[in-house]
Structure 1
Amino acid sequence: MSRRTIGFWYRLAAAITKPPLLLLFKRDWQGMEHIPADGGFITAINHNSYLDMFSYGHFQYNTGRVPRFLAKAALFRAPGVGILLRGTGQIPVYRESSNAFGAFRAAVEAVERGECVAFYPEGTLTRDPGQWPMTAKTGVARAALLTKAPVVPVAQWGANLAMPPYAKENKVRFLPRKTLQVKAGPPVDLTPFYDKEPTPEVLKEATEIIMSAITGLLEDLRGERAPGKPYDLREIRAQERRKAAEEGTK
């Protein structure tokens, strides 16, 4: 398998984004040795700020292995940003459309070609009040079991202190300078699942193992324990719908 070279567009994106990152933030990077030097692999990362893609991207760029992100298709139509996303080979995600499966297929093909694909397994910014990882979707586990590629868990903290999830403009604070902490761990052992049918139960169990590894790394960075049960966005929304229905019948 080959590996994706950094190339012109990634170097251009780095030239644009690295100076402000270096100016505005300090860095605490750990676990770079766990990023494979060759071959296709997957990284699974927690998501707690609109800025954390740049934090993680900076971290991995400096390992010499550039990631391909799955990003909302709308971003590819944005002036300037869209050109960089296309040039650096990012993967558009068309949610709730006939093209929705195309992003997953493109991700699998990229890994099989020897590239790195970065997954945010939660699928959105965390809604957990303590900004811990939520329960995740099973796409990352499905891709991992299909390709049998290494899955490197990555935790990050710090970008969210400058720009909390869903923050409004008046909540964004770059000063005093925050530290962008990124920690990669050893690949998650998913070999027990390789010979199993990828049923919803199997995919759920594999996903939980991946998310447990990410959460453990984040506990190390934060120096505190995560809640015993991850925040379940679907469960919370179901409760809110039931409550609204009950109030509507009164």
Structure 2
Amino acid sequence: MAEFVYPPVVATARTMFKVLDLRFDITGEEHVPRRGGAVLVSNHIGYLDFIFAGFAARPAKRLVRFMAKDSIFRHRVSGPLMRAMKHIPVDRARGDQAFAPALEALRSGEIVGVFPEATISPSFTLKKFKSGAARMAQQAGVPLLPVALWGTQRLWTKGRKRDLRRNHIPITIRIGSPMEADPDESAAGITDRLRERVQHLLEAAQTAYPDKPEKPEDAWWLPAHLGGTAPPPAAGLA
């Protein structure tokens, strides 16, 4: 089926990247499957993460169908766009209702994007992962594709004003090799391994990141264990 909305939205995003002169450092694009279904799994540190995680799949000419909270689909502007791009609404009170359309998309050869932390991590460290991504991959018979984002929190994140006027911000993206979701392994076990992979990629992205805060008040985007002033992980969520 022809894509009438998604490609223009991608083109608009690319224009925004150029206007802001974002400095991309992306490695691992070769791991994105050129065809067939996959569950793209990313950490979640900013409101624009779906744009950047989807951007990681563009060298493979793939469009990612993201699972996102249903309130975005009810918005008068974003709602029609999200539906036209075939993203998948998730009612957090009834999350299982989104499982069937996600499986259908995977089985039809789509890449489905998931943020298994379910919400933005204010500490910018990994929270616990929910097992839905692993269960989807198992049932659809598709691989999991781990991704780590870093720097996206500096543009717009929870508890901070949106700042899309800042130029030259580095955005680091690390894409790992696909993980098979063995149907004989527990979803919890797969989820633990998946989180370890994303953690490794995140640490690699943080190590490669070229910017450091110039002043103490600018250290809000760094987690505490890296010398920043982001709040520490909540008990039981790290």
Per-residue CA distance 1:211-234 (angstroms, 9 max, x = gap): 11011011111118x97xxx8757
TM-score (norm 2): 0.82
Instruction: Please point out which of 207, 212, 215 is paired with 1:223.
Output: 207
Partner residue in 2 for 1:109: 104
Partner of 2:175: 184
Query: RMSD across aligned C-alpha pairs, in angstroms?
Result: 2.4
The corresponding residue for 2:60 is 63
Q: Which residue of 2 aligns with 1:73?
A: 70
Once residues 117 and 94 of structure 1 are traced to their aligned partners in structure 2, the CA distance between those partners, rounded to angstroms, is 17
Larger Rg: 1
What is the CA–CA distance in structure 1 between the aligned matches of 2:26 and 2:3, rounded to whole Å?
A: 24
For residues 44-92 of structure 1, give each alpha carbon's deviation from its aligned partner in whole angstroms, at most 9, with x where no partner exists. 1010011221112222234201100011111112122111111110001
The answer to whether the 8 Å contact 2:125/2:233 transfers is: no
The residue number in structure 2 matching 1:15 is 11
Quick check: which one's helix share is greater? 1
2:158 to 158, 166, 172: 166
Task: Select 1:195's aligned residue among 153, 161, 184.
Answer: 184
Shift of 1:195: 2.2
Using a 3 Å threshold, how does the CA distance of structure 1 residues 11 and 83 change in structure 2: closer, same or farther?
same
Establish whether residue 26 from structure 1 lines up as the match of residue 23 from structure 2: yes
Instruction: Give the letter for the 1:42 counterpart.
Output: V
Which moves more between the two structures, 84-93 or 143-152? 143-152
Paired with 1:214 and 1:178, the residues of 2 have a C-alpha distance of 22
Do 1:6 and 1:64's aligned partners in 2 also have CA atoms closer than 8 Å? no
Count matched residues.
Answer: 216
1:173/1:87 Cα in 2 relative to 1: closer, same or farther (>3 Å)? closer
* Partner residue, 1:118: 113
Q: Equivalent residue of 1:167, what SS?
A: coil
Indicate the SS of the match to 2:89. Answer: strand
The verdict on how the C-alpha distance between 1:232 and 1:108 changes in structure 2, with shifts beyond 3 A counting, is farther
Q: Which ranges of structure 1 fall in alignment gaps of 5 or more residues?
A: 197-201, 237-250
Q: 1:155 is paired with a residue of what secondary structure?
A: strand
Q: Tell me, yes or no, if the aligned pair for 1:161 and 1:173 is still in contact at 8 Å.
A: no
The Cα shift of 1:15 comes to 2.8
Q: Which runs of 5+ in 2 are unaligned?
A: 209-223, 226-231
Q: Comparing 171-180 with 13-22, which one deviates more in the overlay?
A: 171-180
How far apart in 1 are the matches of 2:234 and 2:110?
31
Paired with 2:69 and 2:203, the residues of 1 have a C-alpha distance of 29
Residue 8 of structure 1 aligns to a residue whose secondary structure is coil
Question: What does residue 240 of structure 1 align with?
Answer: none
Inter-partner Cα distance in structure 2 for 1:28 and 1:6: 31
Q: Greater CA deviation, 6-15 or 100-109?
A: 6-15
How many Å separate the matches in 1 of 2:87 and 2:29?
Answer: 22
Task: Give the TM-score normalised by the residue count of structure 1.
Answer: 0.78
